[in-house]
Structure 1
């Protein structure tokens, strides 16, 4: 076994660690979460996992979990679902809950000490890095022997490449969020659309027409802002022009740097037109999220591009002054061939990494494989049959009493905030958790346009050197030019000059590096 590289951990753990509890959602998502576009098996499907049949164990067992706690509702291990799973497995969890605000520091200190608990909550990048350093156990062999349900979910969710470290190995058991927590979708004031007798736009031309109608009708008064983005990349039009404001994986499975593609020049020409005609907030490039939120809350903004949970959030805020106010989600803006895409919700939120010194590794993999089984997924996502849900036509449905308080009841039961249990979401979960909310409609409207979830790449040291050297200078220059192009400070005749400057900063090497890392991850997953 490798010796732990403590010095490396001290220097880097604080800078790369990005820990967030699966249930620590902000007001962006409310009770919402995301399901992957790829359908999970139904709850009634028979499990193919022999390990699940080994539970309950004849003799009681236990293992430790070190995790970031939900900000306001930390899991205590005393909630009913914990007792139910313990009854079915005869495995007791020993929880160490660390407040989210201090978790990164505690994680780092624990790693440096070398005295690791059995399981540590980790972001994917840190698990891969410290796994290769020797802190966490490579799980490939254990997953093949004892984790068929886990491996099946990894394949169906399309996250294998994300989990693979630069050495091709997997160093953590994934956990997920519910659908809708990070997806970005166009949103419109439905009451404004009704006023101008238009529908939510489906292409850039219709988008322009809607914004122009909002402005001409002065629906927000003299300070009407038809569209309010936050930052140069926060527009829903890029994919309709065959580009993207970042490094992205295209339909052919190749990474491209969107801001340097020919389609970006057309997209910027379109955005410059919106800016000149005062159809977008002139402060888009400098406004903070807090300032943006306050501006939209005033009631003089007609459209945004943000988390779908904002449909409910802003509707509730706006209704205090205008009873007719309603923010609704829209689909992707399509290109001239009727094709359009929205960035997917990144359902993979982190992993539970097993210490390389743990004596319970086999038990832990078997335990999580049970949670990934159809029976386990019902327990962790719907709770206890007869109490929180009933089965109807082979599908789980929350009881009427449980649905009366969908904010607190899942938390009180133990299924609302705990990442220890959040396996790949069942297809029906999002709608059932958000019944009657605008976010449910927003996600259903946009989901057909979601692209494939992109992997969280892992780089070799040589590749990381290229990324560290080139990425930030390229992004800084991109940001500078994009804003100038949109507001007209830089003529679009200089677009090729701008691309040339990116190439001088190592763009070609950067793109090659991303593609090499991606192809390596794909090969390892085969």
Structure 2
């Protein structure tokens, strides 16, 4: 009953919307007037959960001053709450007084406002004011933001090609006489032992065989064992088919449902936000999970600090019954920077982003040289106190992140080779499952994707948590097709034919 109640709480929870200030961007009248009078730009961006040192905020700090000084553009920044971020963007777009730049990581949000003709085509501005953008952003990324020949967003790039890698407690494996698993059946046996055989030795049944996140995140290696990934598109008989309606997805859900029914899977998974899962890892309740490549420096490091006996190792990706394995590949586009049609500051926006992509990239990614980092014997040496203190710089750098392998290797090794960050991203990159659809979001995605995503998340969560029978998957497939999925599939395959 406890397990089903937890799942039901997530699925039926109401969405809370933050109240709006009198100004649609949440700016004070003085701040809004200052921006307008100085012919600057107003931007609405993601805070990434960052905090500012005492005496600083998003509009008063040395990194924003650095950008303003080098571009001649005055910038006023608004950071909506992380929860409901895209909903806040919707309110702003509907306000009649949108900012000059909005940043979103949601392709459905982007294409929706393209459909509404609410975004400014940026081709001419990029040609004139964006030399670094043109030189450093690859064609594949531009293709993802181009509709009918018009560029409607300036893309930020994903620095790494994938996110998830399985990590496990080696000390628990050793204590229980187990070897690192390779096949999905061996993974199941290890997870069962972690759940049932008291690997932490406290005499309590308080450990999980596997824990995942809400909305079925951190499941990629286990889905990969069945040959699918969430939201992927795969070729079948010469056509592209959505992964979420394939029989292989049903098999993967049935597998996860089995883990749940056996008490192997964390019963609270529908309520696991990242900080909740992180606490379970750090406190020794989880000994195997699909980690983000950076978790060795956060949750796993906290686990080892809290328990000196804890030893974590990366595992091979589980191999399924048909020999499949792997994880999802991140899109080349990390986020979309758009300029509403009502803005008169497209030139300034492009100059602002061009600097971040070009001359400002290293300082915004690594921090100011000689303050946060220096180079010693060819390697990056980082002042970690200052690095952490000024982590907020990532808010600005992420707007135009570039995929530079040399800088990535430098940075990740500089953060501490003991964390194996660069090794993690290399392991992931060697085990990516190809998503055949790499084009821009289609018009039908703008109309239907949000509701289809919710339908999928709710249905799959209910199936795994035992609130719906596995047969509900077949009803989901029918609903998905009728609620816009067939329309999306048609557009995806029209794009696919053009690539042949």
TM value normalised by structure 1: 0.67
Q: Does the 8 Å CA contact 2:73/2:352 hold for their aligned counterparts?
A: no
Q: Does the 8 Å CA contact 1:188/1:302 hold for their aligned counterparts?
A: yes
1:383–1:141 Cα change, 3 Å: same
Shift, 1:324, TM fit? 0.9
**Which structure 2 residue ranges, 5 or more long, are not aligned?**
1-16, 19-37
Q: Does the 8 Å CA contact 1:177/1:348 hold for their aligned counterparts?
A: yes
Which of 58, 65, 79 aligns to 2:42? It is 65
- Range with bigger deviation, 434-443 or 516-525: 516-525
1:449–1:151 Cα change, 3 Å: farther
3-state SS of 2:138 partner: helix
Q: Which residue of 2 aligns with 1:49?
A: none
Q: Which residue of 2 aligns with 1:446?
A: 428
- Range with bigger deviation, 63-72 or 470-479: 470-479
1:403–1:451 Cα change, 3 Å: farther
3-state SS of 2:190 partner: helix
1:331–1:249 Cα change, 3 Å: farther
Q: Does 1:92 align with 2:77?
A: no
Q: Which residue of 1 aligns with 2:308?
A: 323
RMSD: 4.6
Q: Does the 8 Å CA contact 2:172/2:194 hold for their aligned counterparts?
A: yes
Q: Does the 8 Å CA contact 2:214/2:271 hold for their aligned counterparts?
A: yes
Q: Which residue of 1 aligns with 2:234?
A: 250
TM value normalised by structure 2: 0.70
1:77–1:399 Cα change, 3 Å: farther
Aligned ranges for residues 106-121 of structure 1 at < 5 Å?
A: 107=89, 110-121=92-103
1:268–1:421 Cα change, 3 Å: closer
Q: Which residue of 1 aligns with 2:362?
A: 378
Q: Does 1:142 align with 2:122?
A: no
3-state SS of 2:74 partner: strand
CA distance in 2, matches of 1:69, 1:322: 34
**Which structure 1 residue ranges, 5 or more long, are not aligned?**
1-13, 16-60
3-state SS of 2:394 partner: coil
Q: Does 1:302 align with 2:287?
A: yes
Q: Does 1:435 align with 2:409?
A: no
Q: Which residue of 2 aligns with 1:460?
A: 443
Shift, 1:191, TM fit? 1.8
Q: Does 1:237 align with 2:222?
A: yes
Which of 272, 296, 317 aligns to 1:332? It is 317
1:120–1:513 Cα change, 3 Å: same
Q: Does the 8 Å CA contact 1:311/1:442 hold for their aligned counterparts?
A: no
Write out per-residue CA displacement over residues 96-155 of structure 1, whole angstroms, 9 at most, x where no aligned residue: 334536976875565445444433344554444334434431113433555454245443
Q: Name the count of aligned residue pairs.
A: 446
1:256–1:189 Cα change, 3 Å: farther
CA distance in 1, matches of 2:160, 2:126: 26
1:90–1:378 Cα change, 3 Å: same
CA distance in 2, matches of 1:106, 1:231: 21
Aligned ranges for residues 147-186 of structure 1 at < 5 Å?
A: 147=130, 149-151=132-134, 153-155=136-138, 158-160=140-142, 162-164=144-146, 169-176=150-157, 179=160, 183-186=163-166
Write out per-residue CA displacement over residues 464-492 of structure 1, whole angstroms, 9 at most, x where no aligned residue: 666577665566555444444xx9x95xx
Q: Does 1:342 align with 2:321?
A: no
3-state SS of 1:206 partner: helix
3-state SS of 2:51 partner: coil
CA distance in 2, matches of 1:129, 1:266: 33
CA distance in 1, matches of 2:370, 2:418: 25
Q: Does the 8 Å CA contact 2:210/2:286 hold for their aligned counterparts?
A: yes
